[in-house]
Amino acid sequence: MSATGQRLANFKMSTDLFIGANASLNMEPVLRKVFSDDKQVMVVMDQGISKTAIASSICDTLTAAQLSFAVFDKISSNPTDQSVVHAFEFLKKEKCFALIAVGGGSSIDTAKAVGLLATNGGDLRDYYGNDKVKIPPLPLVAIPTTAGTGSEVSPTSMITDTSRKKIKFGIRSELNCPRAAILDPTLLRFLPSHIAAVCGMDALSHAIESFVSLWSNPFTEPLSLQAISLIGRNLKSFVEDPNNFQFASAVMYGSTMAGIAFSFARLGNVHCMVRPLEEKYPLSHGLACAALLPHVIRFNFSACPEKFRQIAQGMGLDVQGMNDDEAGKRLVERVQELNEDIGIPMLLKGIQARSEDVREMAKVCAETPYNQWNPRYTEEEDFRQIFEMALQV
Ligand SMILES: [Fe+2]
């Protein structure tokens, strides 16, 4: 807090972005810049990627650049403290001094955590929370093959702690940001439609939540709003045809813009509520976001109707002439229509929430610090009601 009681807002881009069709095939100058000496690089990916043409073309590019590398492809979804240690052992065995992460949030978050263990030592739990990382991690280049998490530009690494009832913890430090990210929309062409759908709704949630956050500022807001427009107008077409470059680039660039924005503006009730929901039920992060987003918008609308009108317009709705109630209802309907268009209700089938779980999750949410970011103050009873609507309890 400053002397006037205002929070000191800030904005800084820590990650160099390289953008465009086939950027991953033309990245040699980026690699030369980030990996300034000829030390061995660890390439982190999951087996879904390592068996595709994406992995072979990236390995060919590294070979052509005469870069020595070792591939670790044992990444599973939702990295744990144990899986990170496993990856770290590989890095030490192969004597690697830099990292390239190819994949979604799980690969990139694992690479961030491995890089900080390599330079800071100790146990991963030492770094849970904010700004505990003191020494810059090993240099990391992120090459996302999904569009959703924003991890390629964010300072956060989400890790599941196996010793504490599998609760997810964030390691947040500006030092964690990858040195460079290669945004190549052609890498999204093999994305299964259900993954494209849930990752896209994660990204849209980042864009909307960062835009209305109490910590948003004049530098984050344009990025959030452009992300809302790019994702909101193109996600349905992208899910139908991930091979279409125009749709893929809109969703990929929108996702990264949202990642930059939420790194500073932070997030709101969707991401507050997603954490206990993911721990209780077999839902992916993006699917949980998709289920909650329309109901959180309905709850939050009255806190900043002008901003939600901008969101509606960004998504292509004409809300001029509507009063706030009508505009809010139309925006909620639009997000629900988008969910239906991309098959979210089908993916949610079979999730039957219990009312005792809802009460427990609402209590957990009320104990988090999200009220400092969410635009409308939210009590435990509010969380319970939003969960009930989203999960149809
Ligand atoms: Fe998210």
CA of 148 to the centre of ligand 1 (A): 7
Instruction: Return the closest-CA partner of residue 111 out of 146, 56, 74.
Output: 74
Tell me if residue 241 falls in helix, strand or coil: coil
CA of 28 to the centre of ligand 1 (A): 31
CA of 259 to the centre of ligand 1 (A): 9
CA of 327 to the centre of ligand 1 (A): 25
CA of 98 to the centre of ligand 1 (A): 26
Judge whether 335 and 289 are in contact, CB under 8 Å.
no
Q: Which residues contact 347 (CB under 8 A, 6 or more apart)?
A: 194, 197, 198, 287
Q: What pLDDT, on the 0 to 100 scale, is given for residue 2?
A: 42
CA of 233 to the centre of ligand 1 (A): 19
Judge whether 171 and 157 are in contact, CB under 8 Å.
yes
CA of 270 to the centre of ligand 1 (A): 8
Q: Which residues contact 280 (CB under 8 A, 6 or more apart)?
A: 353, 357, 360, 361
Question: Binning pLDDT at 50, 70 and 90, where does residue 85 land?
Answer: very high
Instruction: Return the closest-CA partner of residue 255 out of 334, 180, 181.
Output: 181
CA of 150 to the centre of ligand 1 (A): 8
CA of 149 to the centre of ligand 1 (A): 6
Query: How do residues 1-52 score in pLDDT, each as one tens digit?
Result: 444 557 888 899 999 999 999 999 999 999 989 987 778 999 999 999 999 9
**What are 257's two structure tokens?**
């813009």
Distance CA 247, CA 325 (A): 32
Q: What pLDDT, on the 0 to 100 scale, is given for residue 36?
A: 76
**What are 256's two structure tokens?**
């990264």
Average pLDDT in the 68-92 region? 94
CA of 251 to the centre of ligand 1 (A): 15
Give the number of other CB atoms < 10 A from CB of residue 389: 15
CA of 3 to the centre of ligand 1 (A): 33
State which amino acid sits at residue 221: E
Residues with Cβ–ion distance below 5 A, ligand 1: 202
CA of 288 to the centre of ligand 1 (A): 9
**This prediction's pTM:** 0.96
CA of 285 to the centre of ligand 1 (A): 7
Q: What pLDDT, on the 0 to 100 scale, is given for residue 56?
A: 96
Q: Which residues contact 49 (CB under 8 A, 6 or more apart)?
A: 55, 73, 102, 103, 107, 145
Query: How do residues 111-163 score in pLDDT, each as one tens digit?
Result: 999 999 999 999 999 999 999 999 999 999 999 999 999 999 999 999 998 88
CA of 36 to the centre of ligand 1 (A): 33
Alpha helices in the chain (DSSP H): 28-34, 47-50, 53-64, 81-93, 105-120, 193-212, 220-240, 245-265, 269-280, 285-300, 305-314, 324-341, 344-348, 355-366, 380-391
pLDDT of 89 over the 80 cut: yes
CA of 271 to the centre of ligand 1 (A): 6
In the sheet with 98-103, reading across from the earlier edge strand, the strands are: 16-19, 180-183, 140-144, 98-103, 41-46, 69-75
Place of tokens 């020595």: 68
Query: How do residues 282-317 score in pLDDT, each as one tens digit?
Result: 999 999 999 999 999 999 999 999 999 999 999 999
CA of 62 to the centre of ligand 1 (A): 31
Question: Binning pLDDT at 50, 70 and 90, where does residue 223 land?
Answer: very high
State residue 180 phi and psi, 5-degree precision: -145, 155
Q: What pLDDT, on the 0 to 100 scale, is given for residue 109?
A: 97
Q: Which residues pair with 11 in a beta bridge?
A: none
Query: How do residues 322-373 score in pLDDT, each as one tens digit?
Result: 999 999 999 999 999 999 999 999 999 988 899 999 999 999 999 999 999 9
**Three-state SS across 55-121?**
HHHHHHHHHHCCCCEEEEEEECCCCEHHHHHHHHHHHHHCCCCEEEEEECHHHHHHHHHHHHHHHHC
CA of 263 to the centre of ligand 1 (A): 11
Q: What pLDDT, on the 0 to 100 scale, is given for residue 166?
A: 64
Q: What pLDDT, on the 0 to 100 scale, is given for residue 3?
A: 45
Distance CA 259, CA 166 (A): 25
CA of 164 to the centre of ligand 1 (A): 21
Q: What pLDDT, on the 0 to 100 scale, is given for residue 39?
A: 83
Question: Average per-residue pLDDT in the chain?
Answer: 95
CA of 201 to the centre of ligand 1 (A): 9
Average pLDDT in the 216-225 region? 97
Instruction: Return the closest-CA partner of residue 80 out of 144, 125, 138.
Output: 125
Euclidean distance between the first and the last CA atom of the chain, given in angstroms as a whole number: 41
CA of 53 to the centre of ligand 1 (A): 28
CA of 286 to the centre of ligand 1 (A): 7
State residue 336 phi and psi, 5-degree precision: -65, -40
